Structure 1
Amino acid sequence: MTGSPQAPDPNRDVDELHALIKAGGFWRLAPEWVPHTGYAQSDRQSLSHVEDGLRRLLNP
């Protein structure tokens, strides 16, 4: 039996990013000069803006 793909949950990426940052995983990737305090959970619009910027860098 082949099931149809499950529709993506728009909040899942945000929730996973928040969990990664809360667990400290993000800070192992960030340079030392990046402030490690004052983090606020990102919203979908902010993540979309960052994604667009990264895509422009990768596909000039």
Structure 2
Amino acid sequence: MAEQAPESPEPDSDAEALYALIAAGGFWRIAPDWVPRQYAEPTRELTDRVRHGLRRLIT
């Protein structure tokens, strides 16, 4: 039995948002140019929390 091509996603769904992202040029983990690429610099407190969390995972 031949597989059918996927239909367009239902409105107002996560699948629709993903479909729109791919149609706009997004591919896998490569975001299109309109996605912001500027982020706040991490604070010392945040990096300490991440470091402690990672240490908890390996012990």
TM bucket (normalised to shorter chain) is: 0.3 to 0.5
More helix by share: 1
Q: Which has the larger radius of gyration?
A: 2
Taking structure 1 as the reference length, the TM-score comes to: 0.36
Relative contact order (alpha carbons < 8 A, sep ≥ 6): 1 or 2 greater?
1
